[in-house]
Chain A
Amino acid sequence: MQTHPAKRVEIIIEEMMESRLCEALLKAGVKGFTVLPVHGGSGRSGHWTRAGQIGRAGGMRAVVCIVRPEALDTLLNAAFSVVERHIGVVSIVDCEVLRAERF
């Protein structure tokens, strides 16, 4: 099966910033992404969980994008302009995709 190299970017961002980040990604020409709920975790502010929470302040989201290697810098610049001052993690891994024209 023919595969193509790509970059998988995972951005863990505060729930309140999700819509701003998604908007910035679309503006930067990212063709698609997936938003996943995050149940809990631990970091510099200590352990946290979404169990029983009603407000959006303590919530996080995971936004996963897969792009061609040459589009990575544009994506990161767009994402960084939103997440720079906020709690979160940005990570990048190499991956392979089957249908390159979709990315």
Chain B
Amino acid sequence: MDLLDLALGNLLSPIILCFALGLFAALARSDLTIPEAVAKGMSIYLLFAIGFKGGVAVDTAGFSGTLVGALLAGVFLSFALPLIAFGLLRVMTALSTLDAAAVAAHYGSISIVTFVAGTSVLDSAGLTYDGWMVAVAAAMEAPAILSALWLVARSGSGRQMDSDLWREILLNGSIVLLVGSFAIGWITGPEGLARIESFIVSPFQGVLCLFLLDMGLVAGRGLRGARGILRPGLLAFGILMPLIGATAGAAAGVGLGLGTGSVMLMMVLGASASYIAVPAAMRVALPEANPSVYLTLSLGVTFPFNLTLGLAIYLAVARMLTGG
């Protein structure tokens, strides 16, 4: 299967078509909406399901040193990628130090929905991956925020880190749910999974489709209101940075000797940009940074790129690198 087949197969999958439907509906100003509470409910379901299944996979396969190596590599990437992103933004765009640092933080952190979509692509391709990659995803959520705050502190602005801010960064809801459900899955193992399988396995793809419909709607609304924000340099950054992040992820994955599926997921983690944990932290830590810039770029440019083309590219490259 070549890259074109992969890309076409991915584009015609239900999850991508649902995202496209949401995007179209928002851009066409349809009144289609998904209530906030329903969207939050679906995100809780997806985080719980992916965390739980990851924990069960670790219980089945056993704990390995590779897991520790992957966790450390993930944390390193999350610290390092914002520095690269910041440098690129200063060269490619006219963003201020504050806005560039805020955007950079998003590109060191991860998008769990892109990760989930990546696992879905792997499942469709019949490829396996290490269940503990979920733990790597959780570990990569927060370090990027600290890198961004360091970049801003160098310029003498930003906010003093207080205990509330630390708690919000390290114990934000998505990290707690992901790590917590991972631990429950690990503790209860396949027996635990068998008890709730009908809830977290069978409906998963359907819920993911509806969730991506909502993501399409939100991304479309963001794009509609971003005409004055998305200048060519910023747009190019939104496409180039995920490719750089994916390259770094591939280097880490291959260096650790991971299999094809896990290398692809490491690339996805490196390539994706946060739109839940980091924007919330930036509103508290760097309130003067323009949220329209980082939310539009992360959700309106990089997320659709990763979903429609990126995943197919990352899978093709991971296969090429690992011979899978």
Query: Which residues of A approach B to under 8 Å, CB–CB?
Result: 14, 16-17, 19-20, 45-58, 85-87
Contacts and interface: CB of A to CB of B under 8 A. Distances in A.
B280 A46 contact: no
Given A57-B295, A85-B287, A52 B280 contact: no
Contacts of B292: 45-46
Interface residues of B, number: 29
B225 A46 contact: yes
Interface stretch (B35-43, B67-75, B143-151, B197-205): B35-43
B34 interface: yes
B14 interface: no
A56 B280 contact: yes
B53 interface: no
Contact of A57 (B214, B225, B282): B282
A57 B279 contact: yes
B191 interface: no
B36 to A, nearest CB: 5
B147 to A, nearest CB: 18
19 contacts: A17-B284, A45-B290, A45-B292, A46-B225, A51-B33, A51-B36, A53-B39, A54-B36, A54-B43, A54-B276, A55-B280, A57-B276, A57-B283, A58-B279, A58-B291, A58-B295, A85-B159, A85-B288, A86-B287
Contacts, number: 64
Interface in B154-212: 159, 164, 168
A83 B314 CA distance: 43
Interface in B248-307: 275-277, 279-280, 282-284, 287-288, 290-292, 295
B34 A55 contact: no
A19 B40 CA distance: 20
A47 B221 CA distance: 9
Contacts of A51: 33-36, 217
A57 B291 contact: yes
B276 A16 contact: no
Contacts of A52: 33-36, 39, 214, 217-218
Contacts of A58: 279, 291, 295
Contacts of A85: 159, 287-288
Contacts of A14: 283, 287
B280 to A, nearest CB: 5
A17 B275 CA distance: 18
Given A46-B292, A47-B225, A54 B287 contact: no
Nearest to B218: A52
Contacts of A57: 276, 279-280, 282-283, 291, 295
Given A45-B292, A46-B292, A55 B36 contact: no
